[in-house]
Every structure is written in structure tokens, then in C-alpha cells.
Structure 1
Amino acid sequence: MTPIHWRAAKPGDEDALSLLGQATFLATFAFDHPGPALIRFLKDLHSPEFYAAKLADPQIDIVIGETPLGAPVGYALLCPPEHPDFQREGDWELKRIYLLGPWQGGGNGAALMQQALDVAHKRQARRLLLAVYENNDRAVAFYKKHGFSKIGDTIFMVDDIEFSDMLFARDMNS
């Protein structure tokens, strides 16, 4: 397996992040998300403009993973939490964590999660939140393996369609 080099994303990475976001989201959710809504969602919330705005925001951290030749293969986006019914003071959110399929396994997912945990520690997060689609069994098992547990339920919108997500949290002191 080609090694992955992890680094902080910076302005200029928006095209790579957009392509990664679109590719991984489509590969993961095309099995049960309606095509037209999925495409509109990807064009909006995984556009280069979306990521350019995130990269310009000092409250957002993005870690990107690349092959030795500079090809993007994964990323994690962390931000202030967006779950007012469940969040506590000192919470931070792992909003996106995506890794292309061929790089999943072999410890790469764990390495990306460690990158995200390192960012949360630097942000002095007391707890890290994340939302996961209730039918994404592989992701649920991965998050549980990394110390996350369910604290509630939330809705995730893909264009105008509601999907049920589970909200997970991990105490950063553990």
C-alpha cells in the first residue's frame, strides 16, 4: 500500500478536497440516496467554493492525506459543534472524515482518526462529537472501536431529503 503523508490543508487545496468529498460521499451513499438529490448536495456542499470558505475560517481545521506523488486520498474536517441539543462547553466536532476505498484498512483509517484526535487536543476539546448515518455499519463499528459512543439522534439533510444520523461522542480525556 502506498504510504499516506498527512498535513494541514491550506488555501489551494479546495479542488482536491472537493474531489475527495464528492468521490467518497458518492461511493459510500449512492446505494440508498436518490441520485438527483445526491448530485445537488455534492455540487453545493462539496464544491471548491465550499472548501475555500472552510479553509479561510480560523475556527475550522482540515487535515489532508496524500500519496508520495501528491494525489489526495483522505481528509478530516473539524469545527465547532452544530448540535445545540447535545453539545457541552468544550465540545468540538469531527464533521467529516473521508478516506478513499483503496486506502481503507491497513491502519490508514486509524491514522486519519489519530490526526483528527490530535487536532481536537490542540483545540483543547473536552469531548469530540460526530454524526454517522444509521445505516453505515462499517463507520459505526470504526467509531466505536475508537472510543465513541452514541449520545443521541439527529437529522442530516441531503439536499431536501432527511436521513437519520446517530450522534456519537468521545471523551478526550480517555
Structure 2
Amino acid sequence: MKEGILEAAFQLYMSKPPYEVTVEEIAKKAGVSKSLIFYHFKNKENLVGEVAIYGTRKFLMEGEIRSISDLVDMGFSTLTGRKPLLEFSMYVAEVIAKRKRFERFRELFEEIMERVIYPLFVKEGIREPKKTALLISAMLDGLSLYHYLFDIKNIEEYKKIVLEFIDCRKLENGRKEVR
């Protein structure tokens, strides 16, 4: 039941501006009562946070990410072809910043780094893999914000620069370095 509510909410948030989505619409789409939504989620802000976690897991954890290049491609596909996801991400950032509830998102971020991103950087022989992975994540987050606000043109040029940066971080002669 709870997952059905999350999926219905995620679909609605991807179909129109997030601030226009109401709990009533989510209940109708999920085929449940509004009170059942509030039984599972204390308020709309909690629902938004849970939808963000659900959507992130759906997008990242179930995706086919076999290389750093796949990861960068996925990040840039959000910039270029998934504007609703970008809008929802900005909306979520605003909601959690107002409520100062970062713990669940920090845990999710750390889980994604440990299970998905960091192993790719180790496998591909990147120097200081954890720090480099964090820097790449920050680059993509920053580009997401700039693209959302200012509609950056020639986004593929930025993708090339990110990939060049990653190549510069590769260890020579296949040496392994883990930090």
C-alpha cells in the first residue's frame, strides 16, 4: 500500500510542477483515502521526502550503471531530458532545507556512494576514489542547479570536461590506491 502511494506520488511529481501536486490528487491516483496517506506519512513534507528517496532509489539503484561513463551519462540525462526530475529535486531541496531534516538524505547519499558510485571509481583505478566521487557528484549537482535556473546551452561540452577530469584522476600503470 505504502509503495503504491509513493509510486502514484512520484508519477504525479514527474507529470507537472511539484508545487501543484496535492495530497488529494495523490490519494485519487493511488486509489486510497487522504487519511491513509497521512497514516503512512505525518504530513505532506514527509511524503515529499519519502517520494524523493523512493525516486532516487528507483532512478539510481535499479539503473544499469556499470562504469563511471554510465554514471555521468545518467547524470547528464537528468540535465537534458528529465526536466520534471530536476524540478522535483529542486523542490525537495527547498522542502528539506526549510525543515532542516537532512539525516535520511545524508544516509541515502552515503548508501549510494558506498553501493553504487565509490565501487566504480575503485574498479576504474581512480586516485582518491571517495574524494573524486564526491567532487563529481558536486559538479553534477552544481550543473543541475545552473541548468535549472539558467538553461545552460551546449551541455554536452560540460559532460566532456567532466569525463576529461575523471580521466586525469586515473592511476598510472594500473596501480591501486584506496582511501
- TM-score under structure 2 normalisation? 0.33
| Structure with a larger share of its residues in strand | 1
- TM-score, normalisation: structure 1: 0.34
Higher relative contact order (CA 8 A, sep 6+): 2
Structure possessing the higher radius of gyration over alpha carbons: 2
